């Protein structure tokens, strides 16, 4: 194996030829071109029209890295400056790259690769979950204020028409959640993965419920406490730095927004069993999460290393299977795919506007 790799590292054109073939199979070879540092086309096909995206690769090892782990290789090369965009945007590169890598997901080896990936992933223990949460969320709150709405909602907003601003859409999301939960004054509500506390606080203020929020991130907990101190419903709001698996009590309502993605595939059954244990017999639970179209694309190496360690984006079928064995009954499902696209567009625009 070492001899094969060494030989092909000396002849990167062979590896670029393989990449070019994969781009062709995926139907993106006319839209996505790779150039070497001298500006020569090394992957992709020339066409009548210019490509949407031209990538200049300054790293001779990049083709090998792309073939071994495309999402990680492209992401790291872009951050390190070993890859630059000469035409097109980063969003367009990601769109075309996703289309190209989907070809691999349809290969006969994909189920084995997915199974091996799950086998070698460490279990999401309570200690590891706390460490993973701190990795992403224990960044100073000021960073998130650069691109989030004024309520600091770090999850999909709700865009009934698609023309709403981010603040309005996040307010509509909270109202939509409240409607689904059929809230009444003095009901007890548990918010699992409460973030900076906005949802728990607003439901206490607007619906009169008694809110308890759980988070694993000290920075989020401190900000949630600061926000609660300023709330008119302070006496009905409590936040705890705790893992939901170690929490007890019975609640009329449970809400969990943007938290299921951190549970991991193996943790899905236990997650819903815990919700079932904490929910009163006539209670309602609402889980809002990112999902994927199938069980083969729930893990991304780039996201796992740099964004959400230990995370997993489940397919709806995986969620339903875990839920059905928990004792809970599914009453409603809503797909918010385009709503998240609008949310991400707002976050990206706000973040770019804050660049120095």
Of 48-62, 174-188, 338-352, the least confident: 48-62
Average pLDDT taken over every residue of the chain: 85
Instruction: Name the range with the highest mean pLDDT among 113-127, 128-142, 196-210.
Output: 196-210
Q: How confident is the model at residue 135 (pLDDT cuts 50, 70, 90)?
A: low
pLDDT digits (tens, 9 = 90+) for 1-38: 444 444 444 455 788 888 888 888 888 888 889 898 88
Examine the pLDDT at 105 and tell me if it is beyond 80. Answer: no
Supply the pTM of this predicted model. 0.82
160-170 average pLDDT score: 96
How high is the pLDDT of residue 94?
84
**Domains identified in the chain and CATH numbers:** 2-107 (3.30.1050), 126-353 (3.40.50.150)
- pLDDT band at residue 106 using 50, 70 and 90 as cut-offs: low
Q: Tell me what the mean pLDDT of segment 349-353 comes to.
A: 90
Residue predicted with more confidence, 263 or 238: 238
Check residue 223 and give its pLDDT: 94
Report pLDDT for 7. Answer: 43
Q: What percent of the chain has pLDDT over 70?
A: 87
Q: Which residues contact 8 (CB under 8 A, 6 or more apart)?
A: 14, 15, 64
pLDDT value of residue 21: 83
pLDDT at 118: 52
pLDDT in tens, 262-305: 888 889 999 999 999 999 999 999 999 988 876 665 667 877 78
Q: State how far the alpha carbon of 229 is from the alpha carbons of 139, 205, 208, 225, in Å.
A: 22, 13, 16, 6
- Identify the pLDDT of residue 119: 46
Tell me, what's the pLDDT at 114?
53
Chain segment 68-101, per-residue pLDDT in tens: 888 888 888 888 888 888 998 888 888 888 887 7
Poorest-pLDDT segment among 51-60, 198-207, 321-330: 51-60
Percent of the chain with pLDDT over 90: 48
Give the residue, 249 or 122, on which the prediction is more confident.
249
SS (H, E, C) the chain: CHHHHHHHHCCHHHHHHHHHHHHHHHCCCCCEEEECCCCCEEECCCCCCCCCEEEEECCCCHHHHHHHCHHHHHHHHHHHCCEEEEECCHHHHHHHHHHHHHHHHCCCCHHHHHHHHHHHCCCCCHHHHHHHHHHHHCCCHHHHHCCCCCCCCCCCCCCCCCCCCHHHHHHHHHHHHHHHHCCCCCCEEEEECCCCCHHHHHHHHHHCCEEEEEECCHHHHHHHHHHHHCCCCHHHEEEEECCHHHCCCCEEEEEEECCHHHCCHHHHHHHHHHHHHHEEEEEEEEEECCCECCCCCCCCHHHHHHHCCCCCCCEHHHHHHHHHCCCCCCCCCCCCHHHHHHHHHHHHHHHHHCCC
**Residue 132's pLDDT is what?**
67
Query: What is the pLDDT at residue 130?
Result: 67
């Amino acid at each position: 194996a070492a001899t094969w790799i060494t030989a092909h590292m000396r002849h990167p054109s062979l590896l670029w030829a393989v990449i070019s073939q994969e781009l062709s199979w995926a139907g993106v070879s006319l839209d996505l071109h790779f150039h070497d540092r001298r500006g020569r086309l090394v992957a992709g096909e020339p066409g009548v029209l210019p490509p949407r995206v031209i990538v200049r690769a300054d790293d001779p090892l990049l083709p090998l890295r792309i073939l071994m782990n495309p999402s990680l290789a492209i992401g790291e090369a872009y951050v390190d400056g070993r890859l630059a965009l000469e035409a097109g945007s980063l969003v367009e590169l990601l769109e075309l790259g996703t289309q190209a890598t989907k070809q691999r997901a349809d290969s006969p080896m994909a189920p084995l690769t997915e199974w091996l990936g799950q086998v070698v992933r460490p279990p999401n223990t309570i200690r590891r979950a706390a460490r993973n949460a701190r990795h992403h969320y224990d960044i100073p709150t000021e960073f998130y204020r650069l691109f989030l709405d004024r309520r600091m909602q770090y999850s999909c907003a709700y865009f009934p028409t698609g023309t709403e601003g981010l603040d309005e859409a996040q307010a509509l999301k909270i109202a939509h959640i409240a409607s689904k939960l059929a809230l009444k004054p003095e009901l007890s509500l548990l918010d699992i993965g409460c973030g900076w506390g906005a949802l728990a606080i607003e439901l206490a203020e607007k619906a009169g419920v008694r809110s308890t929020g759980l988070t694993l991130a000290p920075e989020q907990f401190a900000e949630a406490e600061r926000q609660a101190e300023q709330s008119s419903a302070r006496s009905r709001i409590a936040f705890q730095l705790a893992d939901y698996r170690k929490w007890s009590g019975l609640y009329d309502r449970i809400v969990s927004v943007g938290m299921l993605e951190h549970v991991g595939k193996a943790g899905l059954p236990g997650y819903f069993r815990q919700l079932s244990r904490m929910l009163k017999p006539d209670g309602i639970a609402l889980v809002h999460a990112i999902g994927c179209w199938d069980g083969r694309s729930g893990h991304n190496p780039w996201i796992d290393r740099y964004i959400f360690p230990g995370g997993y984006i489940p397919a709806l079928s995986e969620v339903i299977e875990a839920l059905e064995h928990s004792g809970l009954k599914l009453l409603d499902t809503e797909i918010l795919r385009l709503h998240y696209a609008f949310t991400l567009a707002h976050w990206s625009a706000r973040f770019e506007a804050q660049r120095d």
